[in-house]
Structures are given as C-alpha cells and as structure tokens.
Amino acid sequence: MERISWTLFLLSLTYLEGSSQDFGQTQFICTSVPKDIDLCAATMQNSGPADDLKTTVMQLRETVLQQKETIINQKETIRELSSKLSRCESQAVLEPVTGGRRKEPGKNTMGDVSRTSTDTLAQLGQTLATLKQRLENLEQYSRNNGSVQANSLKDLLQNKIDDMEKQVLSRVNTLEESKPGQKNDTNQRNRVESTLTSLHQRINDLEKGSKSTRPLDKYQITFPLRTNYMYAKVKKSLPEMYAFSFCLWIKSNASPGVGTPFSYAVPGQANELVLIEWGNNPMEILINDKVAKLPFVINDGKWHHICITWTTRDGVWEAFQDGVLRGTGENLAPYHPIKPNGVLVLGQEQDTLGGGFDATQAFVGELANFNIWDRKLTAGEIYNLSTCNTRAQAGNVLSWSESIIDVFGGATKWTFEPCRQLS
C-alpha cells in the first residue's frame, strides 16, 4: 500500500514538473501532514494569502451590494420628485398668468384651495376674517397692557399678514384673469382688497399708538406687487404751473422696468405729467404726452434721491440723481403750462382720469419724500435734499405728509428716515 502511495506521489511530481513550463521558474515546497488528513483541506488551511484574498473579495461584494441598494433608493427618490414636478407643471398650465402680472416668488403658506374662483375667494375671505379677529384681540391687549409682549405679538401678526397679502393678491389676480366676465368674482375681489387695506391701516395705527409721535413726513409707501389696483392717491390737485421741480426718494430692483412712480392726469389729457420706466426702456418723463428720456439708473435695490426741474420757456429740463446733475435737455412741451384740477396717483400710470391702470406699468418698490415746487430748484437746494441737510425745504405745492395721501389695494405705509438709510 505504501508503495502505491509513493508511486502516485512521484507521478504527480512528474506531471507538475512537465507543466511548469507554462509558469516559468517554479519551486516545490514539501509540507508534512498526518496520514489520515484530506490533502485539499490541509492545503486551504495553510494558505494564508488565499484567506486574505477571499476576505477582501467578500468585503468588496458587500460594498457593491450596499451601493446598489443606495442607487435604487436614489432612483426611487428621483422618480418621486419628477412626478411632483410634473404635477406642478400641469397645475401651472391650468392656471396661466397673463396681462403682465407676475406671481410673487416664495413658498405657499395658504395650503391647497379649491380650483373654482368662488370657493377660493370665499376661503381667502374666511382666512382674512380670522386674522381680523386676531388683530382685534391684539388691539385690546395692547390697550390694556401696553407691554413689550404686546408689541412682539403685533410684529408677528404683521409678518403673517405681509406673507398672506402677497399670496392673496397673486391668487386674486389669477382668478380674475381666468374669468374676467364674472361680476360676483370682481365684487369678492374688491371686498378682499378692502379688508387688506383695513388690516394694514389698523396695523399702522398700532405701530403709531393711539396718539402718534411720528412726524407726518417720516414715512414711505411700499408697493410689493405688480397689480392694476395697488396704488396711492394724493388728496389734493396741482395748480397751474409754468415751472416745476419734483424730488423723491425711490428704491426698487424690479425688472424689466421699475414701473410708474407717479402720474398726473387732467381732463382730456391722461399724460399731463408722468414719470415712468416701462419694459426695457430707460426712465422717461412725459409732459402733455411729450417725452424726454432720463439718464437714471436706479433699479439696484438701493435708495436713490432723484429730482427733475422744468420750465415752460423752451421746455428746458434737468435731471439729478443722488444730488448730482446727470442730464439736461430742452424742447420738452415748450410753452405748455401744467394744467390744474387733475388727479395725482402714486404707483400707477393713468389711461383715464384717476383710473385705467395697467399692471405691466405698475411701480414695484418703495417711495418716500415726494415733494413738488412751482419753481426751478437750484443745484445747491437739490444737493441739500439728497444729503438730508437741515436747510432742505419741503415742497410749496406738494409737501410729503401722511395726512394728504391715501393707499389702496395693499400698498402700505412704513416709518422712513432717509438720513438713517444713507448711514
């Protein structure tokens, strides 16, 4: 038996030696093993490098499986997001926005509402009624306590109303455009606008207190959206003028065009005096429907002080930005006096006397310290105004004051001091 085993061993050595030419230089290592052990099992037990290789392969395999699972999960997430995006795009197609109006960017905090305009406006009205009740409670609490906590609650409510206002106005725009012929929807929209205006006025009353200590000229008017119903109206008209100067503080980053900061219309002439920047055109001044292009660059989101002077003799005009003369011209409606008994509107361009607003021409931004004189201001006077010099004079035709300006459709009044804005 032992002879047979040795014979087989020698034959295997002979076979290996004959096959070694396929592997180049080789060497044989003899290892003694017990007589009754399986040679293959013994070989695997003594091969350290093979064990390490096997372990590495198993680890790599587990890693690949984990990555595969992660990729599958990511693909599922992508499919879900794609599905949501498709639904959003479909919704956008169902609710087009036309007429130059734009929806305000930002998250929707109003939740899902009915697709019918009547149901939607009803829900908006209910929400506004709830806010109105909360505001009444806050007013009562403020009167009874007058504490810092009351002011904090007021501020929180103001922020909530501001967020909601943008979405209410945007939704009302969309609903009205989709069904412009429905009188009931228009009536409900008017009620919503009236409620918004009332809310803002009462917030302003809270801000000022029962007896306001804020000077009447230390305020600004904000127009947050392009609409055809958000505006401010001056309670007095302008007299006949053979010369004028007007100055104001303005802030906007709207594009294209900041819109119409103000317009003055008289019977028979809607464009008696207009300041407008529409579309990609430069800012323009219109007098009796005659146009001059202005060298202003103001849509950078910063406060700027602008002034324009004009005289009817030869139609000479000058344009100042931030106290510096930027441009001059002549032959702008020469020998045409500014007519009296008109309507002065802030934030909208008038196509008819006191109305005919176009959302694409609406002003978006903030205005303050709008003053008008019936004479040509000097460069020094304009510089004093732009630098908040104490010698600066208020307009003798129109002096900026809260008492002579009403706001509508969601335009708001806030405390403003230009000198602090510059510092």
Banded model confidence at residue 216, pLDDT cuts 50, 70, 90: confident
Kindly give, in sequence order, each residue whose CB lies less than 8 Å from that of residue 136, ignoring residues fewer than 6 positions away: none
**Sequence-distant contacts of 293-298: CB under 8 A, at least 24 apart:** 294/319, 294/326, 294/327, 295/319, 295/321, 295/326, 295/327, 296/321, 296/326, 297/321, 298/250, 298/251, 298/252, 298/258
8 A C-beta contact, residue 46 and residue 31 = yes
Tokens of 379: 């460069």
Q: Compute the C-alpha angle 70/71/72, nearest 5°.
A: 90
8 A C-beta contact, residue 372 and residue 405 = no
Query: In the prediction, which pLDDT does 371 show?
Result: 97
Which is more confident, 216 or 76? 216
Tokens of 162: 């501001």
What CA–CA distance (Å, rounded) separates 85 from 71?
21
Structural domains for the chain: 231-415 (2.60.120.200)
Residue with tokens 């230089």: 25
Q: Compute the C-alpha angle 251/345/250, nearest 5°.
A: 10
Q: Exposed e or buried b for every residue in 410-419, given b needs 16+ CB within 10 A?
A: bbbbeebbbe
> How many CB atoms sit inside 10 A of residue 321's CB?
19
Residue with tokens 């709830």: 130
> How many CB atoms sit inside 10 A of residue 311's CB?
19
What CA–CA distance (Å, rounded) separates 100 from 366?
20
The tens digit of pLDDT for each residue in 271-329 reads 999 999 988 899 999 999 999 999 999 989 999 999 999 999 999 999 999 999 999 99
Q: What is the pTM of this model?
A: 0.56
Which is more confident, 392 or 211? 392
The tens digit of pLDDT for each residue in 121-160 reads 555 665 566 566 656 655 555 555 555 555 555 565 666 6
Query: In the prediction, which pLDDT does 417 show?
Result: 81
* Cα–Cα distance list, 15 to 1, 19, 21, 229 (Å): 21, 6, 11, 101
pLDDT at 178 over 70: no
What CA–CA distance (Å, rounded) separates 178 from 44?
80
Reduced 3-state DSSP string for 333-386: CCCCCECCCCEEEECCCCCECCECCCHHHECCEEEEEEEEECCCCCHHHHHHHH
